[in-house]
Amino acid sequence: MEYIKNLVFDFGGVIADIDRDNAVSHFRSLGLTEADTLLDKYHQKGIFLEVEDGRTDARGFAEKLSKLCHRELSVDQCKQAWRSFFTNVPVYKLDYLNSLKNKYRVFVLSNTNPFVMSWARSKDFTSAGKPLDHYVEKIYTSYEMGCVKPDKKIFELMIKDAGIRPGETLFIDDGTSNIERGKELGFPTFQPKNGEDWRDSLTALLETMNED
């Protein structure tokens, strides 16, 4: 086994805690009756997929959602609805990511959209006033890369851009299909549960994997 030199984290469900039901309720309150069908923890459908794979931008999503809800909705209203997915951003996890940067290259690979990232990449992200970018080397987002996990293309684009080898890179994600794809491509993997404090488990795993 190769030594681990790089860590790739998912965002929602790993770094930040998510609640799909809360988001479904919020979008329903805007008038989206089919929110339960379109919204998923891991893989979106319809216009929700379009904004995550980059086919639709924030304004385009607001216009399409307005038509589905039969009312005029602003970009900010859409942002607040997307934000309702996220219930907590544990600062202790972010501090842990910072400490990992002393030994590893640390990245984020996320199925996400401009609404979520406009918050995550701002000073409003945490009480410390620092964006997600502060805690990692680079953030790879589905909407900017034009494809979503578990499509192998998004992994391949990240591998090429970051200049990393899958065998030296631990992939950390809470989605089973994403983990399975990572394994197919040669990544060692770690699958924590949403809301879990995975720091001790990850520390122990890395120590085992990097034993002489």
Q: Which residue has the tokens 């988001």?
A: 23
Identify the active-site residue in 10, 53, 173, 174: 10
pLDDT tens digit string along 62-120?
Answer: 999 999 999 999 999 999 999 999 999 999 999 999 999 999 999 999 999 999 999 99
CA–CA dist 103, 131 (Å, integer): 21
Asked if 136 and 80 count as a contact pair (C-beta separation under 8 A), the reply is no
Residue where a domain terminates, one of 83, 107, 130: 83
- Quick check: is 1 in a domain? no
CA–CA dist 53, 20 (Å, integer): 19
| Whether residues 74 and 143 fall in one domain | no
| Whether residues 126 and 181 fall in one domain | yes
Domain count across the chain: 2
What is the distance, to the nearest Å, from the Cα of residue 204 to the centroid of all Cα atoms in its chain?
Answer: 23
pLDDT band for position 127 (cuts 50, 70, 90): confident
139 sits in which H/E element: strand 138-141
| Whether residues 66 and 129 fall in one domain | no
Please confirm, yes or no, whether 76 is among the known catalytic residues: no
- Write out the residue range of the structural domain in which residue 104 sits: 6-17+88-209
For residues 148-168, give the mean pLDDT: 98
- Which domain CATH number covers 41? 1.10.150.240
Q: Which residue has the tokens 């899958």?
A: 166
The answer to whether the predicted template modeling score (pTM) of the entire model surpasses 0.85 is yes
Neighbours of 82 (CB within 10 A): 25
pLDDT tens digit string along 171-186?
Answer: 999 999 999 999 999 9
φ, ψ dihedrals at 12, nearest 5°: -70, 125
| Whether residues 124 and 152 fall in one domain | yes
DSSP string, 87-98: EE--HHHHHHHH
- Quick check: is 189 in a domain? yes
CA–CA dist 36, 90 (Å, integer): 27
